[in-house]
């Protein structure tokens, strides 16, 4: 490797890893914790959950009194002198839904189920973020190892190239052997450049997921798994956030059917009004309105059928989700088994290839092997080492994919050193639809300001 190439390689590694390398090595748990704290996707979905919490408060408000005020003035002009008039009035109105067949109550319960479904969606997003972090982490680790492998490959082939030149100078080999070594050296340098580019690319992905540049990453171990394939499938069907969320959506759809059916019954509304004119005259009225539909052109019946169809679609979604989860668990375990078997096989291949390479190189110095034999043996060892790196990375990703397929890839189960987000904290502040001027309303304002900072 020439001096310029060496400086380029050393410079890239220094930019990405030199400063953090001085400190303690960084673990996968550190990266997962930072991704949990820095993820914009998680923050986005937490905000969507808070918006869903407000839907419950707004639905509940339909059962509360509604009080409003209005004021106005009316000017009347007249051609006669002094006949102009100005009248002002003010009034306060209040309304209260007394009975609507339970439609408003069903609406509130439906919104609560959707909040629970949204909470499960947030957990699913958390799993996606953490699994992407695992992939980014092992990709950086693999890229660093690949880069070191390519650097060593260039060094070894450079030695073989120089040896071939020396042997050519004394007439032991032909020009063909030198050309073969030179061609392999050029290819090795090309692959080294590709490894440098790959490291830069996966480092950008790491930065995007974790929220910072990668440091001196320590080797990652596969996640411990306490379930076999059958138990993992059964666990996923019962506990995965996708399944739990779908169950809440089915319940919400059933409540919406009852809400639509309640629209066929009567409703009772209580109203009150206090009016005051500029003359000091006050008028007070109280009213009770009872009514219900007689004929709506088929609209109500259509809405009921529509909600039934949506309920059926959500129920079908349960079967789709179940089948998808079982497939994901099966795929993850198959991927894990292949990675483990590959690691064992490549380990044996590396040991054999290393012995073969050392033997072939020694035989070449005695003239019993050609330069091409040495280069081929070195390439086989390199290929085995590269395959081993990939298999080890695949095993780590596969083990965490199993956890994700089961619904266990979350900060709580992994024991990450983070302050986990409590989805019920905000809901507890809005579940009774507090007024803006109440103490609870002011607490909500403080929470939202703190989140926005």
Tens digits of residue pLDDT in 378-388: 778 878 888 88
State residue 6's pLDDT score: 40
Containing H/E element for 116? Answer: helix 103-169
pLDDT category of residue 79 using cuts at 50, 70 and 90: low
Instruction: Determine the Cα–Cα distance for residues 422 and 446; give it in Å rounded to an integer.
Output: 17
φ/ψ (deg, to 5) at 272? -145, 150
φ/ψ (deg, to 5) at 270? -105, 135
State residue 281's pLDDT score: 80
State residue 61's pLDDT score: 87
102 sits in the region (left: phi over 0; alpha: psi -120 to 50; else beta) called: left
Q: What Å distances lie between residue 192 and 2, 160, 445, CA to CA? A: 13, 17, 56
pTM (2 d.p.): 0.83
Instruction: Determine the Cα–Cα distance for residues 56 and 50; give it in Å rounded to an integer.
Output: 10
Nearest 5°: the CA angle 446, 448, 449 is 65
Could you report the per-residue pLDDT of 17-41, keeping only the tens digit for each? 444 444 578 999 999 999 999 999 9
Give the strands of the sheet with 282-291, arranged side by side: 66-76, 85-99, 267-277, 282-291
Candidate from 170-174, 211-215, 227-231, 342-346 with smallest mean pLDDT: 170-174
Q: Who has greater pLDDT, 78 or 228?
A: 228
C-beta of residue 268 within 8 angstroms of C-beta of residue 144: no
Q: Who has greater pLDDT, 326 or 434?
A: 326
Instruction: Determine the Cα–Cα distance for residues 150 and 190; give it in Å rounded to an integer.
Output: 10
Give all strands (DSSP E) within 19-124, no chain letters.
Answer: 66-76, 85-99
Instruction: Determine the Cα–Cα distance for residues 213 and 207; give it in Å rounded to an integer.
Output: 5
Containing H/E element for 326? Answer: helix 299-365
| Cα 358 from chain centroid (whole Å) | 48
pLDDT of 16 higher than 60? no
pLDDT of 371 higher than 90? no
C-beta of residue 411 within 8 angstroms of C-beta of residue 126: yes
DSSP state, residue 222: P
Candidate from 107-121, 201-215, 276-290, 328-342 with smallest mean pLDDT: 276-290
pLDDT of 82 higher than 80? no
Token pair for 36:
């949990």
Could you report the per-residue pLDDT of 236-269, keeping only the tens digit for each? 999 999 999 999 999 999 999 999 999 999 999 9
Q: Give every CB contact of residue 341 below 8 A, 6+ residues apart in sequence.
A: none
pLDDT of 49 higher than 80? yes
Determine the longest span between alpha carbons in the chain, in angstroms.
Answer: 131
Of these ranges, 113-127, 275-289, 351-365, the one predicted with the greatest mean pLDDT is 113-127
pLDDT of 75 higher than 90? no
Q: What Å distances lie between residue 218 and 44, 71, 144, 391, CA to CA? A: 31, 71, 11, 17
Q: Which residues of 394-433 are buried (b: 16+ CB within 10 A; e: fewer)?
A: bbbbbbbbbbbbbbbbbbeebebebeebebeebbebbbeb
State residue 30's pLDDT score: 94
State residue 191's pLDDT score: 87
Instruction: Determine the Cα–Cα distance for residues 45 and 423; give it in Å rounded to an integer.
Output: 11
pLDDT category of residue 398 using cuts at 50, 70 and 90: very high
Provide CATH code, domain 31-71+88-421: 1.20.1600.10
Q: What percent of the chain has pLDDT over 90?
A: 53
pLDDT category of residue 451 using cuts at 50, 70 and 90: low
C-beta of residue 382 within 8 angstroms of C-beta of residue 145: no
pLDDT of 78 higher than 80? no
Could you report the per-residue pLDDT of 272-321, keeping only the tens digit for each? 999 888 777 888 899 999 999 998 899 999 999 999 999 999 999 999 99
State residue 350's pLDDT score: 85
Containing H/E element for 375? Answer: helix 371-406
Residue in 195, 182, 49 with CA at minimum distance from that of residue 122: 49
State residue 452's pLDDT score: 62
Q: What average pLDDT is seen over the chain?
A: 86
Instruction: Determine the Cα–Cα distance for residues 218 and 26; give it in Å rounded to an integer.
Output: 6
pLDDT of 14 higher than 60? no
Domain ranges for the chain: 31-71+88-421
Candidate from 94-108, 413-427, 431-445 with smallest mean pLDDT: 431-445
Token match 């926005």: residue?
452
pLDDT of 80 higher than 70? no
Report the Cα–Cα distance between both ends of the chain, in Å, rounded.
51
pLDDT of 366 higher than 80? no
Could you report the per-residue pLDDT of 132-151, keeping only the tens digit for each? 999 999 999 999 988 988 88
pLDDT category of residue 438 using cuts at 50, 70 and 90: low
Q: What number of other Cβ atoms are within 10 A of residue 129's Cβ?
A: 23
């Amino acid at each position: 490797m020439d001096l310029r190439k060496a400086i380029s390689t050393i410079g890239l590694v220094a930019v990405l890893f030199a400063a953090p390398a001085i400190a303690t090595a960084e673990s996968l748990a550190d990266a997962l914790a930072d991704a949990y704290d820095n993820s914009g996707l998680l923050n986005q979905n937490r905000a969507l959950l808070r918006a869903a919490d407000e839907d419950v408060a707004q639905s509940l408000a339909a059962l509360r009194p509604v009080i409003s005020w209005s004021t106005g003035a009316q000017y009347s002009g007249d051609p006669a002198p002094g006949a102009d008039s100005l009248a002002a009035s003010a009034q306060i109105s209040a309304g209260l839904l007394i009975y609507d067949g339970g439609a408003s109550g069903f609406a509130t319960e439906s919104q609560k189920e959707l909040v629970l479904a949204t909470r499960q969606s947030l957990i699913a997003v958390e799993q996606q973020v953490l699994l992407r972090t695992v992939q980014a982490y092992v990709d950086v680790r693999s890229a660093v190892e690949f880069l070191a492998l390519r650097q060593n490959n260039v060094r070894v082939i450079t030695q073989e190239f120089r040896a071939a030149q020396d042997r050519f100078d004394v007439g032991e080999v032909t020009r063909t052997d030198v050309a073969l070594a030179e061609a392999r050296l050029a290819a090795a340098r090309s692959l080294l450049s590709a490894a440098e580019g790959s490291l830069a690319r996966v480092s950008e992905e790491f930065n995007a997921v974790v929220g910072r540049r990668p440091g001196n990453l320590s080797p990652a171990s596969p996640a411990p798994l306490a379930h076999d394939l059958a138990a993992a499938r059964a666990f996923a069907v019962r506990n995965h956030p996708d399944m739990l969320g779908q169950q809440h959506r089915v319940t919400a759809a059933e409540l919406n059917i009852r809400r639509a059916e309640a629209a066929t019954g009567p409703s009772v509304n209580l109203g009150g009004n206090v009016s005051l004119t500029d003359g000091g005259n006050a008028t007070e009225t109280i009213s009770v309105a009872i009514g219900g539909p007689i004929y709506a052109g088929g609209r109500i019946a259509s809405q009921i059928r529509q909600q039934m169809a949506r309920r059926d679609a959500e129920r079908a979604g349960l079967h789709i989700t179940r089948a998808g989860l079982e497939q994901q668990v099966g795929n993850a375990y198959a991927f894990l088994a292949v990675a483990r078997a590959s690691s064992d096989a490549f380990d044996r291949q590396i040991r054999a290839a290393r012995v073969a390479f050392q033997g072939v190189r020694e035989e070449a110095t005695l003239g019993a092997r050609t330069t091409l034999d040495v280069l081929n043996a070195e390439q086989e060892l390199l290929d085995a080492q590269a395959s081993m790196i990939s298999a080890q990375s695949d095993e780590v990703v596969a083990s965490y994919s199993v956890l994700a397929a089961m619904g266990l890839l979350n900060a709580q189960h992994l024991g990450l050193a983070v302050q986990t987000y409590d989805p019920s904290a905000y809901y507890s502040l809005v579940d009774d639809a507090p007024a803006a001027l109440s103490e609870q309303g002011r607490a909500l304002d403080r929470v939202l300001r703190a989140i926005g900072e």
